[in-house]
Amino acid sequence: MSAPAPSELVFVYNADSGLFNTMADAAHKVFAPDTYSCNLCKVTYGWLTERRAWRDFIAALDVPCTFLHRDEMRRRWPTLDIGLPAVLRVDGDTPEVCINAELLNACADIDALTSLVRSRCLGG
């Protein structure tokens, strides 16, 4: 029997929010992709826009998904100390890491990431 679906999945980027940070991250992905620190962003976004396959995957899920930057995660859960990027299962107020940074950083493409989300976060 698979685990019940979470009340929310939270995808946390290893980057801070804000226009300046977004533009700096986009430039970093273009000019020094090997040293870019957020594989979640690298896999799910092109230079500036979200990849269609990822958008379609998220839209088809039967669970609400939230996307946070590390500064936004720290505001929501100030005591949560985890490696990023990460995907959290949230039931009530308590987040649980279902995909840690090591697993996310090993994803080479959308197919690997979507498979990981299905198996580790949705029990399928």
Q: What is the mean pLDDT of the chain?
A: 84
DSSP state of 33: G
pLDDT at site 63: 94
User: Six-digit token pair at 101?
Assistant: 């940074």
Phi, psi of 94 (to 5 degrees): -100, 115
DSSP state of 91: E
**Mean pLDDT value across residues 11-33:** 64
Cα separation, 26 vs 111, in Å, equals: 22
120 contacts: CB under 8 Å, gap ≥ 6: 87, 98, 99, 103
Tokens 């979640």 correspond to 40
Domain residue ranges of the chain, discontinuous segments joined by +: 8-121
Do the beta carbons of residue 105 and residue 39 sit within 8 Å?
yes
pLDDT at site 1: 44
Tell me which of 33 and 12 has the higher pLDDT: 12
